[in-house]
Structure 1
Amino acid sequence: MFERFLPGNPFPLGAYWDGRGVNFALFSASAEKVELCLFSEDRRELQRIPVSESDGEVWHTYVPGMLPGQQYGYRIHGPYEPSRGLRFNPSKVLLDPYAREIGAHLKWDDAVFGYTVGDPDQDLSLDSRDDASFVPLARVAHTMFPWTDDRAPAVPWHKTVIYETHVKGLTKLHPKIPPELRGTYLGLAHDEMIRYFLELGVTAIELLPVHHHIDERVLIEKKLSNYWGYNTLGFFAPDFRYAVANCGLTCAEQFQSMVRSLHLHGIEVILDVVYNHTAEGNQLGPTLSFRGIDNLSYYRLSSEDPRYYVDFTGTGNTFNMRHPRVLQLIMDSLRYWVTEMHVDGFRFDLASSLAREFFEVDRLSAFFDLIHQDPVLCRVKLIAEPWDLGPGGYQVGNFPVGWAEWNGKYRDCVRRFWKGEGGMVSELATRLAGSSDLYEASGKLPHASINFITCHDGFTLLDLVSYEQKHNEANGEENRDGTDANWSMNCGVEGPTEDPAILALRTKQKLNFWLTLLTSQGVPMVQAGDEFCHTQSGNNNAYCQDNEISWLNWEPTAEKLFFTQLVQQLIWMRRKEPVFQRRHFFQGREIRGSDIRDVVWIGPSGKPMDESEWTSPAVQCLGVRLSGDMTGVVDEFGNPVEGSSMLLLFNASEQPIPFVLPKRRGSLRWERILDTDQPRLAPERLAAGETYTLMGHTSVLFRGERPTEPLPPGEFLEPILSE
Structure 2
Amino acid sequence: RLDGLGLVNYWGYNTLGFFCPDPRLSTTPHDTGAARREFRAMVGQLHAAGLEVVIDVVFNHTAEGNEDGPTLSMRGLDNAMWYRLQQDDRSQYDNSTGCGNTVDLSQPRVMQFVLDCLRHWVGEMGVDGFRFDLATVLGRTAQGFDPQAPFFGALAQDPLLARARLIAEPWDVGYGGYQLGRFPGRWLEWNDRFRDGMRQFWLTRTVDRAEFARRLLASSDRFHHGTRSPLASVNHVVAHDGFTLRDLVSYRHKHNEANGEANNDGHNANYSVNCGAEGPTDDAAVNAERGRLARAMLATVLLAQGTPMLAAGDELGHGQQGNNNAYCQDNPISWIDWSSADAALAGFVARLTALRRELPALRQPRWLSDRPRADGRRDVEWLDPTGQPMTVARWHEAERRCLAAVIAPEHADAVLLVFNAEPRARQCVLPQGRWRCVLDSTDPAAAQRAIEGGTIEAPAQSVLVLVLRATG
TM over 0.5: yes
3-state DSSP class of the match of 2:16?
Answer: strand
Q: Distance in 2 between matches of 1:556 and 1:544?
A: 23
Which residue of 2 is the match for residue 230 of structure 1?
13
1:694 corresponds to 2:458? yes
Q: How does 1:159-558 map onto structure 2 within 5 Å?
A: 218-245=1-28, 250-556=34-340
Query: Could you list the per-position Cα deviations for residues 493-548 of structure 1 after superposition, in whole angstroms to 9, with x for gaps in the alignment?
Result: 11111111111100100110111111101111111110110000100000111111
| Deviation at residue 597 of structure 1 after TM alignment | 1.9
Q: Distance in 2 between matches of 1:543 and 1:512?
A: 27
Q: Distance in 1 between matches of 2:339 and 2:8?
A: 25
Query: Could you list the per-position Cα deviations for residues 564-618 of structure 1 after superposition, in whole angstroms to 9, with x for gaps in the alignment?
Result: 1111121111112111121101122222243x22211111111221221112222
Q: Residue 561 of structure 1: which of 343, 351, 361 is its match?
A: 343
The number of aligned residues is 471
Q: Distance in 1 between matches of 2:204 and 2:385?
A: 17
Q: Distance in 2 between matches of 1:693 and 1:251?
A: 54
Which residue of 1 is the match for residue 437 of structure 2?
672
Which residue of 1 is the match for residue 383 of structure 2?
602
3-state DSSP class of the match of 1:306?
Answer: strand
Q: Distance in 1 between matches of 2:457 and 2:48?
A: 47
| Deviation at residue 655 of structure 1 after TM alignment | 3.0
Which amino acid letter does the alignment assign opposite residue 456 of structure 2?
Answer: Y
Q: Residue 625 of structure 1: which of 369, 393, 406 is its match?
A: 406
Which residue of 2 is the match for residue 611 of structure 1?
392
Is the 8 Å Cα contact of residues 371 and 378 (structure 1) preserved in structure 2? yes
Tell me: CA distance 1:363–1:247, structure 2 relative to 1, closer, same or farther (3 Å): closer
3-state DSSP class of the match of 1:252?
Answer: helix
Q: Residue 583 of structure 1: which of 340, 343, 365 is its match?
A: 365
Which residue of 2 is the match for residue 570 of structure 1?
352
Which amino acid letter does the alignment assign opposite residue 303 of structure 1?
Answer: Q
Is the 8 Å Cα contact of residues 605 and 660 (structure 1) preserved in structure 2? yes
Q: Distance in 1 between matches of 2:363 and 2:328?
A: 37
Q: Distance in 1 between matches of 2:432 and 2:284?
A: 37
| Deviation at residue 249 of structure 1 after TM alignment | 5.0
3-state DSSP class of the match of 1:369?
Answer: helix
Is the 8 Å Cα contact of residues 197 and 207 (structure 2) preserved in structure 1? no
Which residue of 2 is the match for residue 119 of structure 1?
none
Is the 8 Å Cα contact of residues 607 and 662 (structure 1) preserved in structure 2? no
Which amino acid letter does the alignment assign opposite residue 462 of structure 2?
Answer: T
Query: Could you list the per-position Cα deviations for residues 292-319 of structure 1 after superposition, in whole angstroms to 9, with x for gaps in the alignment?
Result: 1111111111222222111000100000
Does 428-437 or 224-233 show the bigger shift? 428-437
3-state DSSP class of the match of 2:267?
Answer: coil
Which amino acid letter does the alignment assign opposite residue 374 of structure 1?
Answer: D
Q: Distance in 2 between matches of 1:540 and 1:339?
A: 36
Q: Which has the higher helix share?
A: 2
| Deviation at residue 691 of structure 1 after TM alignment | 2.6
Which residue of 2 is the match for residue 69 of structure 1?
none
| Structure 2 residue runs without a partner (length 5+) | none
| Deviation at residue 626 of structure 1 after TM alignment | 1.4
3-state DSSP class of the match of 1:702?
Answer: strand
Which amino acid letter does the alignment assign opposite residue 261 of structure 2?
Answer: E
Tell me: CA distance 1:289–1:623, structure 2 relative to 1, closer, same or farther (3 Å): same
Q: TM-score, normalised by structure 1?
A: 0.63
Q: Distance in 1 between matches of 2:46 and 2:253?
A: 38
Is the 8 Å Cα contact of residues 511 and 676 (structure 1) preserved in structure 2? yes
Q: Distance in 1 between matches of 2:211 and 2:83?
A: 40
Identity %: 45
Tell me: CA distance 1:597–1:237, structure 2 relative to 1, closer, same or farther (3 Å): same
Query: Could you list the per-position Cα deviations for residues 630-676 of structure 1 after superposition, in whole angstroms to 9, with x for gaps in the alignment?
Result: 35xxxxxxxx5x3x422111111223322111213xxxx21122223
Q: Distance in 2 between matches of 1:659 and 1:264?
A: 45
3-state DSSP class of the match of 2:141?
Answer: coil
Q: Distance in 2 between matches of 1:671 and 1:335?
A: 49
Which amino acid letter does the alignment assign opposite residue 359 of structure 2?
Answer: E
Is the 8 Å Cα contact of residues 423 and 620 (structure 1) preserved in structure 2? no
